[in-house]
Structure formats: structure tokens, C-alpha cells
Amino acid sequence: MDHFLYRNGELHAEDVAIAEIAAQVGTPFYCYSSATLLRHFRLFDEALDGLPHLVCFAMKSNSNQAILKLLAGAGAGMDVVSGGEYARARAAGVPGERIVFSGVGKTAEEMRAALEGGIRQFNVESEPEMAVLSEVAVSLGTVAPITVRINPDVDARTHAKIATGKSENKFGIPISRAREVYAHAAALPGLKVIGVDVHIGSQLTELEPFETAYLKVAELTRALRADGHEITRLDLGGGLGIPYTRSNEAPPLPSDYGALIKRTVGDLGCEVEIEPGRLISGNAGIMVTRVIYVKSGEGRDFLIVDGAMNDLLRPSMYEAHHDIVPVAEPAPGAEQQPYDIVGPVCESGDTFAKQRDMPALAAGDLVAFRSAGAYGAVMASEYNTRPLIPEVLVDGDRFAVIRARPSYDEIIARDHVPDWL
């Protein structure tokens, strides 16, 4: 469920008309619903009721300061994968004890910043990383709390580019070596082993891969405790998918996911962490764009819009589907016709949809890309010197620009021309 609905013939975000935002902000822009973000976070929080737990928002899906502050105020922790994301979380007022540091390539500088600023735990991905983290912690006269990310060799049955739990993926330690690696970690002076971490992928639409992975985690936890390790925390990652289409097929609910967690690891007496991103922010955002031209081609018509692949990369990068709807509500039974919906970037890959049935549209019409709140603005670029587009947050009947569109002068001023030119 989201809060982007037609009302009086116009698409609204909560109680604000999208056309009103477009008139004030210009197009294209991202628009987020506070009510949807909070509802989705609370669904996860309630799903784990009865277990000691922390729901950490996966910031890589959407890292705007306003979004982070909104979710942190509701009790969310944060899952960060870089020093920059850590700095964003702290700037949003998230305390260090609610920040989990994931990622395969943490640098010594990032480790130092997190240890000095406060951190809940590092999810360690390799033995070389353990050695560096131990050295940094010792140099600071402290001990770094860690979980070890294990790779359970489980097929998440998702897009190949977002699968992370198979043996050929770059993530984690092979589960077959876990006990050996934990013994090594326990011997390092700057580390304190506190738990087990696993993450098998993103946009999972069925629970079976989670169950397979979590049963392996439970078995490993018992073995590690038998080896003398004090395992008190299980980081189970994120990855639950969202419905990108309005079809009757929908991914499992957070309540079903929570029941699975309780069934597979709930008897271990561990605190549970989960790190959803997409399901919290994905359907809480849309990208709004305007038709520039309607162009007739050889056997097809093109809608050329002012949004482009640099603004929303997912269709080009992942062949991803987004429902695309007119901002002005079509009349009941309005005739549909197929369009290729494309942007203005000089790449054939700047295509959002091919032969998508839409009501007849004309230059100047607004359209909205649904389910664009995750991996939208965070993956945007200034390719073709196209400014990053504004982000807008709606709360009831009010809205605010939470990231402004830079001017061309501001973009160009970031370049530095050497004296010899």
C-alpha cells in the first residue's frame, strides 16, 4: 500500500496534488510520502514483536537526510556501506549504537571514523578486513564489535546483479570455513565477536531462500557456541521485494517474513537485526516527469520525457519495470495505445519502457513513475551535465524540497581549471 492515489481527477501524494508540486518545483523530480515510509517501517518492527530486535534501514536505497531523520525518529537503526553513508547517518542524528557498518571494502579511514564516532557493529566480510580492523581498533585503544558475514551458497532467485548469497558472489566468508574464520577473529586483540551476519540478495519475492539461509545460520550459531564463542546477535540482512507492478502477484508480507524469522532462529535467544531498504522506501516514492514530445517512428510512437536514465537508472541497468501513469486521471475506459517511453540522453539505453500501453498523451502532460523511492535518487548522476533532480517530501497537506536542483553554474563551478590552461 502507498499514499499516491487519484483524487478529483488528479494524482496526489497524501493530500498534495502532484501537479501543484510540479508547478512550483519544475520537472523532473522525486516525491516521497512520509506516511508510506513510516507505515512500511512499522510493519517490519511489528513483525518482530516478541523478539529483541532492531530494524536498520538500508541507506543504500535512499540516503536523503530528511528520510533518515524521519525513520530514525520512529526508532529505526541504519545499515551503512561506506564512510559517506556513516557520516550521513550521524548528521541525521542517528546515534552510533544504532548504526551497523556493512560492505566488502571498508578502508582503515572508514573504520577509524566509525570507531571514533560510535558504532553498533562491523559486519566483517573477509580475513584481511579483520586484520585491518583489529589494527585500527588497537591503535585507538578500543575493541571493535563484529559479526562475520557468512556466504551460505543459497540462490536467492533474483536478478543476477543483486544476488549476494551464492558461492560465486563477492560477499562474505564461505560457510564451510566459518568456524575456522571465527577462531581466527577471536584471537585478534582488537576484535570482539558478537554474532553472525548473512545477506543473500535484494528484491526476493519468495520466502524459501530466506528459510534455507536462516536454517544454516541457526546450525552455525549452535556450532560456534559449542566452540566457545558468545553469539548474542544475528544480522539477517534485508532483501524482501516489493510489487513493481499492480498485478495480483505480490511478494510476501513483512508479517510472513517475521514469522519465518521466529520459526527458524527465534529459539536461539539472540537479538535479531534486519536491514530492509527497498520495501521501506521503494513504494514510498515516485519520479514525476513531463512529456517533451510525442514522436512517430517506424511502426511505433515515442513519448520523449524530460526524465532520463541519469535520473532513474534501474530500467537501463537492470531492465527493471516501473508502472508509469498519467498524473491526470484517465477517463474510465479510455483507449490505450503503445508507446516507447524514452528520455533525452544520447544513449539507446535511455529507454524506460517499450510498447507500454498508455492513454493518449501530448506534449506538456505529466507522468509518474511508481515505486521509484528506492535506488532512484541515490543512483542518479549528472551525465550529459543534467542537474540532479529535486527530491520532495510530503507530510499530509504540506511538502518541502529536501534536495534542490543545482544550477548549471553550480555544477560547472565544481571543476577546477589548472593555471597553465
Exposed, middle or buried, 98 (CB in 10 Å: 0-12/13-18/19+)? middle
| 116: number of Cβ within 10 Å | 12
Report whether 148 contacts 178 (CB < 8 A): yes
Report whether 61 contacts 79 (CB < 8 A): no
Catalytic residue, chosen from 31, 56, 270, 346, is 346
Torsion angle (degrees, nearest 10) of CA 401, 403, 409, 412: -170
What single string gives the DSSP state of each residue in 128-148? HHHHHHHHHHHHTT--EEEEE
Report whether 50 contacts 267 (CB < 8 A): no
> Facing residues of 294 across strands?
303
- Cell numbers given for 421: 590552461
Report whether 209 contacts 222 (CB < 8 A): no
Tell me whether residue 346 is one of the annotated catalytic residues: yes
> In the block, which residue shows the cell 551525465?
383
Give which of 328, 336, 324, 394 is closest to 16, Cα–Cα.
394
> In the block, which residue shows the cell 531462500?
209
Exposed, middle or buried, 158 (CB in 10 Å: 0-12/13-18/19+)? buried
284-311 per-residue burial string, b: 16 or more CB within 10 A, e: under 16: bbbbbbbbbeeeeeeeebbbbbbbbbbb
Measured CA to CA, the distance from residue 14 to residue 24 in angstroms comes to 17
- Phi and psi angles of residue 333, each rounded to the nearest 5 degrees, phi first: 75, 15
Evaluated on CA atoms 172, 177, 183, 184, the torsion sign reads negative
Measured CA to CA, the distance from residue 240 to residue 232 in angstroms comes to 24
Angle between helices 83-91 and 65-73 in degrees, nearest 10: 60
21, 47, 140, 312, 385 from 304: Cα distances, Å: 21, 43, 56, 15, 18
Catalytic residue ranges: 346
